[in-house]
Amino acid sequence: MQTQLAHQMALAPTGDIMIAGAVAAVALGALALFFGALLSIVRSDLTSGMKLVWLVFSLMAPFLGSLLWFLIGRRDSQHRAGIA
C-alpha cells in the first residue's frame, strides 16, 4: 500500500507539468491567432470602415473575432478585392 501511494505521489508533479504545458500551448496558440488576425485585417483590401469594424470586433472578443475573421472576413475581403 505504501509503495502504491509513493508511486502516485511521484506521478503528481508530472501530471501538473503536463497540464501546465498544455495550457501554455493553448494560450500561445490563441495569442498567435489573435495577432495574426490583427495583422491580416490591417493588410487586407477592405475599406477603412470595415477594417475598423473587424478590428473592434477582434479586440472585444479576441478568440471569436479572430476565428471569424479567418473563417468569414478574410475570404470576403479577397472576394471584394476581385470585384473592384
pLDDT tens digits along 13-64: 777 888 889 999 999 999 999 999 999 999 998 888 999 999 999 999 999 9
The answer to whether 54 touches 46, Cβ cutoff 8 Å, is: yes
Residue 46 CB burial class (10 angstroms; 0-12, 13-18, ≥19):
buried
Q: Copy the grid coordinates of residue 65.
A: 473575432
Residue with more model confidence, 31 or 78: 31
Place 67 in a pLDDT band, splitting at 50, 70 and 90: very high
In this predicted structure, what is the pLDDT of residue 17?
84
Q: Which residue carries 472585444 as its cell?
A: 60
